[in-house]
Homo-oligomer: A and B are copies of this chain.
Amino acid sequence: MIHSKPSKNIQKICNAKGISLTQKRQNIFHILLSSKIPLSAYDLTDVYKNKFETAMPTMSIYRILEFLTASGLVHKLESTNKYIACSHLQCDHEHSNAQFLICNSCSGVEEITLTSELHKQIETGAEQTGFKVESLQFELHGTCKACLNTH
């Protein structure tokens, strides 16, 4: 099983980034941080209702997800249309080269960072065709260590 690191001084991180993290945005972010698996916007609607005993419209969830992804606090998994908290919030470096290992068995996700060497090689390969790479997100599907060990 794979899960995110626990929440830490996120508010400070946001202040440093100049990000206005409202209570509701924090709530959504914390749900994602404490979830072992990625959640869809509608999953979040349900969890929010259960956890905070008040409903948030899915439209608002989407807006908040957009804000959080733009801020780099949350990633959208394109192969599953689900959302996950960034697990490298404590790092300073850019995460333009994130890579997600998605377990087909437990749905857990591990976020690792491509070595800059590898990242560069990939960009170079693409740019040999005259293509200018602006963004990339690699999602690998398979089976995580824990699930392999339990057969």
Q: Of all chain B residues, which has the CB nearest A112?
A: B129
Cα distance, A79 to B99, chains bound together (Å):
14
Number of interface residues of A (CB under 8 A): 34
Residues of A within 8 A of B (CB): 78-79, 99, 101, 103-104, 110, 112, 114-115, 118, 121-123, 125-126, 129-145, 148
12 contacts between A and B (CB under 8 A): A101-B131, A103-B131, A112-B126, A114-B122, A115-B125, A118-B125, A129-B145, A131-B143, A132-B143, A133-B141, A134-B143, A136-B141
- Inter-chain pairs besides A130-B148, A131-B142, A131-B144, 19 sampled, C-beta below 8 Å: A78-B79, A99-B126, A101-B126, A101-B131, A101-B133, A112-B125, A112-B129, A114-B125, A118-B118, A118-B121, A118-B122, A121-B121, A123-B140, A133-B140, A133-B141, A133-B142, A136-B140, A137-B139, A138-B138
